[in-house]
Amino acid sequence: MIASFDVDAQRTFTPLCPGELPVPGGDEIADELNAQAALADLRIASKDAHNPNAKWVVARHDQMLQPLDHPDSDLTWVRHAEAGSEGFELIPGLPAPEHYDFLVYKGVENHMHPYGACYHDLKERISTGVIEWLRYRQVNTVLVGGLALDFCVKTTALQLAKAGFKVYLNLAACRAISDDGAIEACRAMVEAGIRLVDNAGELALQ
Ligand code: VGL
């Protein structure tokens, strides 16, 4: 079985929410995510679901990316993806949440800011249930896209590869916070055996 995974494809990571974490072009990936999902048997999504009291929040963008001395929040970020806010919503063009086969919400605790969708904690000890659900549905291949390539998409893809799934990363279905981050993410994913493809058309030929 093949699953397609929309990782954190939320408005908070697009220019639609300029005060949050806008990733250039983040609102342009819905068609590619839909095209890759059309090649899969199952479609799943993760959503950041933060809360207003999160300990890692800083007021301004120039205060972001500072190291934090906490095992489960490694960096500061501005407020984003608060459950119930506009930024929490999936990007325009994606199905409504109830049309997915499995959904995972992450980053709900005040002091925990995970990147990967498979674990609630940075040490990758507390499962969110994604891996177990995929195994239960006899999935062996996962097609991955979403936001942002250099943080949550990369970490999720690496976690899935480590768990033994065959992982394809659809570059056209992702956007990155930084170019350097994208290059490093691609390097780490290739090293982990993840197959990078340019778009869903290339996936269809695999
Ligand atoms: C993300 C930075 C901070 C992501 C989440 O979804 O990639 N990036 N929080």
The complex scores an ipTM of 0.92
Ligand 1 contacts CB of residue 77 (under 6 A): yes
CA 150, 89, 140, 114 dihedral sign is: positive
pLDDT of residue 110: 96
Residue 42 is encoded by which pair of tokens?
A: 């199952």
> Could you give the CA distance from residue 183 to residue 181 in angstroms, rounded to a whole number?
6
pLDDT (average), residues 5-9:
99
User: Which residue's alpha carbon is at the smallest distance from atom 2 of ligand 1?
Assistant: 151
CA atoms within 13 A on the CB side of 164: 7
Residue 122 clears pLDDT 90, i.e. is over it = yes
DSSP-derived letter for residue 170 is E
Residue 204 clears pLDDT 90, i.e. is over it = no
What H or E segment, with its residue span, contains residue 159? helix 154-162
Residue type, 39: L
Residue 112 clears pLDDT 90, i.e. is over it = yes
Ligand 1 contacts CB of residue 148 (under 6 A): yes
Percent of the chain with pLDDT strictly greater than 70: 100
Average pLDDT along the chain: 97
Q: What is the maximal distance between C-alpha atoms in the chain?
A: 46
pLDDT of residue 206: 82
pLDDT (average), residues 126-146:
98
User: Which residue's alpha carbon is at the smallest distance from atom 9 of ligand 1?
Assistant: 115
